[in-house]
């Protein structure tokens, strides 16, 4: 409890003492030798890349969920192991089919 109180006091003091920054339009705009920028400063974000990255993360997590199934194969009834594994793989394949059907896996639209 004492450690919690000390850390809380330190955080409050740090936020009170810290230098405050105010966002100014001129300071937050890009600087190119005193001239206005010729092109946009930020590149457009590729939504297709973001979608592929999210799909990769989802399927990567699902693959990591498959690893414990392999480790529990010896301790569980083989028939129930097959049912669980089959169900899990069917869900994966349905998700993959849905993404493919929606056109999320096509790079050129």
For the chain, the structural domain boundaries read 47-102
Cβ neighbours of 84 (radius 10 Å):
13
pLDDT band for position 90 (50/70/90)? very high
Residue in 24, 26, 29, 56 with CA at minimum distance from that of residue 40: 29
pLDDT at residue 25, rounded to an integer: 65
Q: Check pLDDT > 80 for residue 91.
A: yes
Residue pLDDT, tens place only, 74-85 = 888 889 888 988
Distance CA 61, CA 55 (A): 10
Which has the minimum average pLDDT: 33-37, 43-47, 72-76?
33-37
């Amino acid at each position: 409890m004492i450690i919690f109180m000390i850390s809380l006091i330190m955080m409050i003091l740090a936020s009170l003492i810290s230098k405050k920054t105010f966002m100014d339009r001129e300071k937050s705009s890009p600087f190119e030798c005193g001239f206005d920028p010729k092109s946009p400063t930020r590149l457009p974000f590729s939504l297709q890349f973001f979608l592929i990255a999210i799909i990769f993360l989802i399927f990567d997590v699902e693959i990591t969920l498959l690893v414990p199934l392999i480790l529990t194969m010896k301790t569980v009834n083989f028939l129930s192991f097959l049912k669980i594994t089959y169900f899990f793989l069917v869900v994966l394949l349905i998700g993959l089919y849905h993404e493919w059907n929606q056109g999320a896996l096509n790079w050129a639209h």
